[in-house]
Each structure stands twice: as C-alpha cells, then as structure tokens.
Amino acid sequence: MSDSKKIEIYYWTTCPYCQKARALLDSKEVNYIEHDITGDEPARAEMVKRTGGPKSVPQIFIDDVLIGGCDDLYALDAQGKLDGMLK
C-alpha cells in the first residue's frame, strides 16, 4: 500500500496562475493528476461541483480535500505546511 497522497489540479493551459501552481508542485517532486479543463464545460462543471462553488482556476485537491487556488498553495508553502500535506 502506498503512503503517497492523491494530489489533483484543475487548470487551463493559458492561465499564468495555473502554470505557477503546477511549477510549485513540480518543484516539490510530487506526482499529481492534471485535469486540463481548457474549453471543456462539462469538466469545469465537475470541478465546480467538487469545489462547492469556486469557478476560478487552478483548483487544487489533496486527498479529495479542496486546498484552493494558486495563492492558497503558495501560502501553505510559506507557512511551512505544504510539504507535510504532500508527503
């Protein structure tokens, strides 16, 4: 059984905040599931259903718990909490 966390990110390919969030996850050398919802309204609707309302991207989940967007991810990192959540 794996101890790794299930990390997911919903993003648009042209979104600079999405690129920044993915770059931070890449720098942490963790595997994550990417949901490219660029122009995909059914996928965006699924994301909104999971978030409970937020429609902006990126939206990041760790073990099916909504973390939030790019600013939230960077705030967790600045507080020293992100590494523990990812491992």
- Which residue matches tokens 């490219």? 36
Residue 4: band (very low, low, confident or very high) from pLDDT cuts 50, 70, 90: confident
CA 81 to chain centroid: 15
3 DSSP 8-state letter: -
**Which domains does the chain possess?**
7-86 (3.40.30.10)
Residue 61 near residue 36, CB atoms below 8 Å? no
How much is the pTM? Answer: 0.92
Q: What is the pLDDT of residues 5-40, one digit of tens each?
A: 999 999 999 999 999 999 999 999 999 999 999 999
